Amino acid sequence: MADADPHERIKQRAYALWEQEGRPEGQSEKHWHQAETEVAGVNGGDEASPGTPGAGEHICPACEGTGRLGRKRCTTCGGTGRVIEVPEP
């Protein structure tokens, strides 16, 4: 997803948000706006969108950020679509 053009990244993230929320109808603008905000890296201050280098948070490789594998919750990320990189002590 990081190699895609910004429009494609927004589209993919909006789709992932829609799926994470249970595919609700009539909320495409909300999901698109949230995706634009995340892709632009404007998340209310010091939060970085998943996949930002050095942030320690990445898009889940198993579900590609959707939080779901088929009809089930992704067990790799627990349904969040994100994985946290924990540094070794």
Closest CA to 27 of 37, 14, 38, 39: 14
| pLDDT grade for 76, boundaries at 50, 70 and 90 | confident
In tens, the pLDDT along 25-58 reads: 898 888 888 888 877 765 444 455 555 555 567 7
**pLDDT for 67:** 87
Q: What is the mean pLDDT of residues 75-79?
A: 86
* Cα 16–Cα 59–Cα 46 angle in degrees, nearest 5: 100
Q: Taking the CA atoms of the chain, what radius of gyration do you get in angstroms?
A: 13
Q: What is the mean pLDDT of residues 12-30?
A: 86
Bridge partners of 84? 57
